[in-house]
Chain A
Amino acid sequence: MFNLEQAIVAWRQQMSAGGIKTPEPLDELESHLREDIEEQLRSGITAQQAFASAVQRIGQASALKLEFEKIGQTKLLLRFAYLSITLLAVLIAAATVHLNDALQPLCLAEGLLLSLILPDMARTSAQSLKDSEDHKSLLRTVWIGQIFIALGGALIICSPLHPILGLVFAVISCVLFTRKLRRQMRATIHPARLVMGS
């Protein structure tokens, strides 16, 4: 005998096992599922049929997880960007009190941290977009951004100018390319996946 409540509990566990761990989106999806089932029951079909079609309509946990991850990741990266900018401010402060010996390695370390942002940002999209045109254009942005950040690194090491200037160049490049990548990723959050079966 089909038990609707048990089926919903099992579905919730499956979604959680599929990667949607935080309770808030799960609660919201469950509320949606129940609403859909109730609506269908009014048209006279069985609870089992209503449950099955509502589950199908709501979509796979793996696909939903990827979309939710993109949002969480953007938030994390924003924090990372703020941290980088704070570090830059600290380094500039250090430069003004003439801690020049430690300045170049510190700037390089900061430059290395910056070089992690763009590839990490594109990582989750790579899983969902595979070899599509969108993916290629994301990768292009990542590579051009990395080249600019590396140029900043070269300026830190080789330039007769102050190392801070190289770092400022790397930070500005990183911020600009992160924004560009974010815009591109925003455009890929729903296309092709807001519609089922695509």
Chain B
Amino acid sequence: MHSISMIDKELVAASAEPLILSLLSKGESYGYAIIQEIKTRSQDQLQWTDGMLYPVLHRMEREGWIESRWVESETGRKRKYYSIKKDGKKALNEQREQWLKVHGVLAQLWKEKYV
């Protein structure tokens, strides 16, 4: 399979929502671009099964975190763009705090270990 991740699958799954919300907080985007952006930013270490992104996006839309609209380009290509909503920003802040807490504890422990 092409996308065996270097990062543990549970961690990939747990980080999907904060990653999508963080990306969308920078501006609206569509499925393919989101996947490519994550791939590039993680130097190919974080790869999702492409199709599976959409149920996650749809669920987040249903939660009221993001909204979508179809846009047709000049070449006639149709893309569904997602953008973050107020509740999504709130959810992102909450998730950010949790990730930073975990990161803080790990960083502290590892620092002590190697001193």
Contact = CB atoms under 8 A, between A and B. Distances in A.
Interface stretch (B12-20, B21-29, B105-113): B12-20
Contacts of B3: 57, 195-197
Contacts of A56: 2
Instruction: Bin chain B's interface residue count.
Output: 20 to 34
B48 A195 contact: yes
A32 B51 CA distance: 8
A190 B19 CA distance: 14
Contacts of A190: 13, 16, 52, 55-56
B2 A28 contact: no
B59 A192 contact: no
B9 interface: yes
Given A34-B77, A68-B55, A68-B58, A59 B49 contact: yes
Main SS at interface, chain A: helix
Nearest to B4: A197
B52 A59 contact: yes
B54 A28 contact: yes
Contact of B80 (A28, A74, A193): A28
Interface in B1-46: 1-5, 9-10, 12-14, 16, 30-32
B47 interface: yes
Contacts, number: 107
Contacts of A120: none
A40 to B, nearest CB: 12
B97 interface: no
B21 to A, nearest CB: 14
B87 interface: no
Interface in A1-51: 25, 27-29, 31-32, 34-36
B62 interface: yes
B2 A193 contact: no
B115 to A, nearest CB: 35
A67 B52 contact: yes
Contacts of A135: none
B13 A194 contact: yes
A198 B1 CA distance: 10
A53 interface: yes
17 contacts: A28-B54, A29-B51, A31-B31, A31-B79, A32-B54, A35-B77, A57-B49, A59-B51, A63-B52, A68-B58, A71-B62, A75-B62, A190-B52, A191-B13, A194-B53, A197-B1, A197-B3
Given A57-B49, A186-B59, A191-B14, 20 more contacts: A27-B80, A28-B54, A28-B80, A35-B77, A57-B50, A58-B50, A64-B55, A67-B52, A67-B55, A70-B59, A71-B55, A189-B59, A190-B13, A192-B13, A194-B9, A194-B48, A195-B9, A195-B13, A196-B49, A198-B9
